[in-house]
Amino acid sequence: MCVAKEIKQEVTSPYTPQHNGIAERRNRTLHDMARCMLKGEGLPNSFWGEAITTTTYILNRCPTKKLEAVVPETIWSGLKPIVSHLKIFGSLFYRPIPDEKRKKLEDKSESLILIGYHPTGAYRLFNPVNQQILISGDFVVDDNASWNWSKYVKQIHCVLEDSGQ
């Protein structure tokens, strides 16, 4: 498959990362971007895997010096990638709750945090209240807001105190 895609495969000696110059530089870029994404939005380090996956997704849609005017995704799939759907990692999404699934005075939407992209074109969203990852394309996004983790930690602490734990 590598030959068919004109990918040059090179091998190096085991335990010599200094010989893996290009790969090591790419790993550093991935980690630096993921760190910035986590710190920039105040997300906990437990989301590092999602940040790395999202960084890879983004970098595969960006031009590189080696490929000149072509992006890696185009080389791999033969299709020009669409980037208009990209949103800020960690931004707040509000997903509507259907009338049938809520009572009259309950919230009409739930707050979710963008943690990545799904191959179907939907988004990977984290619900911090019930600690679940959802795949959804039905939402309203607020790029300027971010989840208040300190407020959430205080809410959990109050709930635990009220329950006697």
Name the least confident of 20-24, 141-145, 147-151: 147-151
Residue ranges, comma separated, of all CATH 2.30.30 domains in the chain are: 87-165
pLDDT for 154 beyond 70: no
pLDDT of residue 164: 46
Query: How are strands ordered across the β-sheet holding 91-96?
Result: 132-136, 123-127, 109-117, 91-96, 140-146
CATH T-level assignment (fold) for domain 87-165: SH3 type barrels. (2.30.30)
What is the model's pTM? 0.73
Alpha carbons 147 and 92: distance in angstroms, whole number = 7
Q: What is the pLDDT of residues 78-112, one digit of tens each?
A: 888 888 888 889 888 888 888 888 888 888 888 88
pLDDT of residue 54: 94
Bin 6: left if φ > 0, else alpha if -120 < ψ < 50, else beta. left
Q: What is the pLDDT of residues 18-32, one digit of tens each?
A: 777 777 888 889 999
In angstroms, the first-to-last Cα distance of the chain is 56
